[in-house]
Amino acid sequence: MSVQGKTAVITGSTSGIGLGIAWELARGGVKVVLNSFSDSDEDHAIARQITDETGTEARYVQADMSKPDQCRALIGEAGACDILINNAGIQHVAPIDEFPTEKWDAIIAIMLSSAFHTTAAALPVMRKAGWGRVINIASAHGLTASPYKSAYVAAKHGIVGMTKVVALETAREPITANAICPGYVLTPLVEGQIPDTMEKYGMGREEVIEKVMLERQPSKEFATTGQLGGTALFLCSDAAAQITGTTISVDGGWTAL
């Protein structure tokens, strides 16, 4: 079955990984529904740009992923949801005993609870259509841990676990559920951190990338948003019809250590 003409709802997709995935899916003929909480002119302009450059329909729907009702409403407003990609995320770094409660609550809400609500709303739609793909963007931190990232690591481990549950509940149906686990990805946000990191450590660009930013990534190369989009597109293909309930690491060997 071709993915052309299918509709993908991608949370947190007006920048970074989510946007990269949207572009790759659109190039593959998948209609995309972009999402963020901001509802700016720029958000709608990104959707128009994808449509103009790929010839595939793209549109923007505002929804705050920290709000359960808005998570579920997003699926309804999309009109169709053959492919659900739970990508929205935020980060905060602090020791557990200093970690602000409101930051913990926000990270768990946006990165874990939102995926529960969108998936709960999307599965009946997929069942009615007779086909579906749930793809959760987890992280290398869904399989391992780092200090000072308690909420992020907890959320990403949680999303991996929930992926397995969804896969088991849909195992006898033409629906799959998988998690992609990126390592460090070269996004505009990460690119913007490089000059400050260079200044902090007194290193050149390549040295700070290899020795500081990619310390735990054996390839010493960033993954790209296009690579993650290509992985998502593969998981939507017929070749991946029996891949379900698992994780695919795109981390340059990080979790092989």
> Hey, which residues are catalytic here?
152
Calpha distance 104→100 (Å, rounded): 6
Identify each DSSP E strand in 90-242 by its residue range.
132-137, 175-182
Check if the beta carbon of residue 118 is closer than 8 Å to that of residue 44: no
C-alpha dihedral (166, 240, 20, 120), degrees to nearest 10: -20
The token pair that represents 233 in the structure block: 């597109």
Calpha distance 37→60 (Å, rounded): 11
Number of alpha carbons in the 13 Å side-chain half-sphere of residue 127: 12
